[in-house]
């Protein structure tokens, strides 16, 4: 039986644009109230107003996910405004391109701080709160299809997403006795600011919300991911995939790594 989401409270990071903003709006349409978090206050204010136009409440916590104490600040904000939280969606993250041999270790540590450690800190802090209060809940991390296989020059991003996926899978089992659901979300190429930011961090001049080599068959909108997240909130599952084809491909690539290498070399013309 599908769960009702009416009057539940969700915390979303990276909520000023892309998947985070789209999920916030769809959660509002499903009857949820939202705690938004991101670095850009002006963008958060716009999302807040759109949520309120949908008849739900929203409040923003401005800051970077790596700021000291921000995870607890989000939970405290939810408690002060709504009296509780029910769902946490750790969505903030970014990527960059680099070969492993040329990778700057400082950049590698930083992407793990944002994508993995900050994400885990929020989910871990939320889990402890729910356990202490003996309340059910649902915790989600926005991983990626690249958690299951990597691509040349995206190994750093892929590694952070694989780490998220493994933590979610373990927590899903560990928290079962506490009636706390844990899910990892695995989008494919999504039309967000991701590739624009990635290109900038990688020293590229071009601006694009999708890579040049991406087939339109494997490109989706943020709303597609948001719908999948809301569906998972209603009927929790361990992993959320937005493409059955890519999910199947991930399984084949894992089982047959030489075939994976052959396909990727042909696609990337390496």
For residue range 241-259, what is the model confidence (pLDDT) as tens digits? 999 998 998 888 888 888 7
Q: Give mean pLDDT, residues 252-269.
A: 79
Reply yes or no on whether the pLDDT at 24 is more than 90: yes
Reply yes or no on whether the pLDDT at 199 is more than 70: no
The residue that leads in pLDDT, 261 or 73, is 73
Three-state SS sequence of 169-210 = HHHHHHCHHHCEEEEEEECCEECCCHHHHHHHHCCCCCCCCC
Q: Is the dihedral of CA 156, 71, 143, 203 positive or negative?
A: negative
Q: Give mean pLDDT, residues 226-234.
A: 98
Task: For 156-188, write each residue's pLDDT tens digit.
Answer: 999 999 999 999 999 999 999 999 999 999 999
Reply yes or no on whether the pLDDT at 8 is more than 90: yes
The residue that leads in pLDDT, 214 or 37, is 37
Q: Does residue 87 contact residue 8 with C-beta atoms inside 8 Å?
A: yes
pLDDT of residue 260: 79
pLDDT of residue 218: 75
| Least confident window among 16-30, 61-75, 178-192, 201-215 | 201-215
pLDDT of residue 230: 98
Task: For 71-125, write each residue's pLDDT tens digit.
Answer: 999 999 999 999 999 999 999 999 999 999 999 999 999 999 999 999 999 999 9
- Proportion of the chain above pLDDT 90, given as a percent: 77
- Proportion of the chain above pLDDT 70, given as a percent: 89
Reply yes or no on whether the pLDDT at 33 is more than 60: yes
pLDDT of residue 47: 98
Q: Give mean pLDDT, residues 132-153.
A: 95
* Strand residue runs (E) in 63-179: 87-90, 137-142
Phi-psi map region of 149: left, alpha, beta (phi>0 left; psi -120 to 50 alpha): beta
User: Is 9-268 assigned to CATH 3.30.470.10?
Assistant: no
pLDDT of residue 4: 93
Separation CA 228–CA 232 (nearest Å): 6
Average pLDDT, the chain: 91
pLDDT of residue 146: 94
The domain ranges of the chain are 9-268
Q: Give mean pLDDT, residues 46-51.
A: 98
Report residue 114 as tokens. 């944002």
Report residue 250 as tokens. 């991930």
């Amino acid at each position: 039986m599908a769960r009702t989401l009416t009057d539940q409270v969700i915390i979303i990071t990276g909520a000023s644009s892309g998947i985070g903003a789209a999920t916030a709006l769809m959660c509002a349409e499903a009857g949820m109230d939202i705690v938004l978090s991101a670095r850009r206050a002006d963008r958060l204010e716009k999302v807040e107003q759109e949520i309120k136009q949908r008849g739900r409440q929203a409040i923003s916590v401005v800051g970077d996910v790596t700021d000291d104490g921000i995870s607890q600040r989000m939970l405290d904000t939810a408690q002060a405004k709504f009296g509780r939280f029910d769902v946490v969606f750790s969505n903030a993250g970014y990527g960059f391109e680099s070969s492993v041999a040329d990778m700057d270790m400082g950049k590698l540590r930083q992407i793990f701080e944002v994508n993995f450690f900050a994400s885990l800190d929020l989910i871990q802090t939320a889990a402890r709160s729910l356990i202490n209060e003996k309340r059910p809940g649902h915790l989600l991390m926005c991983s990626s299809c690249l958690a299951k296989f990597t691509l040349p020059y995206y190994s750093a991003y892929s590694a952070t997403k694989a780490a998220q996926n493994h933590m979610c899978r373990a927590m899903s089992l560990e928290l079962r006795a506490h009636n706390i659901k844990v899910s990892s979300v695995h989008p494919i190429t999504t039309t967000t600011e991701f590739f624009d930011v990635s290109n900038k961090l990688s020293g590229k001049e071009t601006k694009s919300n999708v890579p040049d080599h991406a087939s339109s068959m494997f490109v989706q909108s943020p709303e597609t991911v948001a719908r999948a997240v809301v569906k998972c909130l209603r009927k929790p599952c361990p992993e959320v995939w937005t493409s059955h084809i890519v999910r199947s491909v991930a399984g084949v690539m894992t089982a047959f790594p030489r075939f994976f290498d052959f396909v990727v070399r042909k696609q990337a013309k390496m």
